[in-house]
Amino acid sequence: MIDLQDPIAIRVRGIVNRFGSQTVHDGVDLDVRNGEILGVVGGSGTGKSVLLRSIIGLKQPEAGEVTVFGESMIGKEEDEAQDIRRRWGVLFQGGALFSTLTVAENIQVPLREYYPDLDQTLLDEIAAYKVVMAGLPPEAGPKYPSELSGGMKKRAGLARALALDPMLLFLDEPTAGLDPIGADAFDRLTKSLQQTLGLTVFLITHDLDTLYAICDRVAVLADHQVIACGTIPELLATGHPWIEEYFNGPRGRAATATVDRNRQLGA
């Protein structure tokens, strides 16, 4: 039974993932609380995207348990998973827009798939306000993905991820490849949508600014496991060398300084 009020939206227990002889995950445990933005960080190759794929069912882990809103996701039949699938939206790294469809049609794909009875006028209206909601200019509707810039592709991908009014949003490196202004704008958009729509967000990122600016908690993947999960001060208190280096390296310090400065300006 799907329980949307479950205080733990995603529960990951003991996930094991291997590619051939290479172990990516060895007993990953993670809780994503309802209504929070959880940032997932880790060095390259620590399996951040693999973890995402395991949760949304694109990859079956070798062992372990994943539940979303109290519903187990492992070994689900395709049609059983449908009910849970329409409660989440996924933004892939490159946007993953369908290249033969326009932006508006891309947004309508999930709507048509799950609610074939919706009439065209309503579909168009929904697509229209989602386009604006994702921060795209109104003339982006009839454009094809190849005509969009990297930032606009991400926004269009976000609009499609939000098409079904999901409870859960998965973002895979949403600000990678964006300029600082675009990245900042995307962060704000994520935060404001999360607040107004009451979303739970699972966010993979390398962007320290994003972590400081919008994440409620951060999970750190290293040594095939989640070595720590909590607010940034809590993570720093663990004293783990990788975490120290990550947040206290030159880039980490710069991001902290920016956040502090912004706080002072805001105060």
Partner 1 sequence: MTEMADFTEELTDGGWVIRFSGRLTLARIGNLHKRLDALDGPPVVIDMAGVERVDTVGAWIVHRLEQDHGATVINASEDAKRLITLVTRSDRQVQMRPEPINPVLRVLNEIGEAVTEAGATLVGLLSFFGSILVAIGSTIRHPSRFRVQAVIQRLDLVGIRALGIVGLMSFLIGIVIAQQGAVQLAQFGAESLTVNLIGRITTRELGVLMTAIMVAGRSGSAFAAQLGTMKLTEEIDAMRTIGVSPIEALVLPRLLASVFMMPLLGFFATLISIIGGGLFCWLSLEMPPVIYVRRLQEVIPITDVWVGLVKAPVFGLIIAMTGCYQGMQVKGNAEEVGLKTTAAVVQAIFLVIVLDAFFAVFFTKIGWT
Comparing CB distances to partner 1, the nearer of 53 and 86 is: 86
- Total residues interacting with partner 1, rule: CB under 8 A: 31
Which tokens sit at 225? Answer: 């496991």
Helix boundaries (H) for 162-228: 180-197, 208-214
User: What backbone torsions phi and psi does residue 121 show, to the nearest 5 degrees?
Assistant: -60, -45
Does position 43 interact with partner 1 (CB under 8 A)? The reply is no
| Backbone angle region of 260, left / alpha / beta, with phi > 0 → left and psi within -120 to 50 → alpha | alpha
How far, in Å, CA of 204 to CA of 51, rounded? 10
Comparing CB distances to partner 1, the nearer of 63 and 128 is: 128
Tell me which residue has tokens 């920016």. 258
**Site track 151-190 with partner 1 (rule: CB under 8 A), x = hit:** -------------xx-------------------------
Comparing CB distances to partner 1, the nearer of 131 and 161 is: 131
**Site track 207-246 with partner 1 (rule: CB under 8 A), x = hit:** ----------------------------------------
Does position 78 interact with partner 1 (CB under 8 A)? The reply is no
Query: Looking at 56, 131, 161, 214, which residue binds partner 1 (CB under 8 A)?
Result: 131
Question: Sheet containing 88-91: which strands, arranged edge to edge?
Answer: 88-91, 168-172, 200-204, 37-42, 217-222, 225-230
- Please, what is the Cα angle at 11 between 114 and 67, to 5 degrees? 40
Query: Which span (29-37, 97-105, 182-190, 209-217) binds partner 1, by CB under 8 A?
Result: 97-105
Query: Looking at 72, 80, 82, 118, which residue binds partner 1 (CB under 8 A)?
Result: 118
Give the contacts of 147 (CB within 8 A, at least 6 positions apart).
none
Does position 40 interact with partner 1 (CB under 8 A)? The reply is no
Query: Looking at 77, 78, 79, 139, which residue binds partner 1 (CB under 8 A)?
Result: 139
User: What backbone torsions phi and psi does residue 89 show, to the nearest 5 degrees?
Assistant: -125, 145
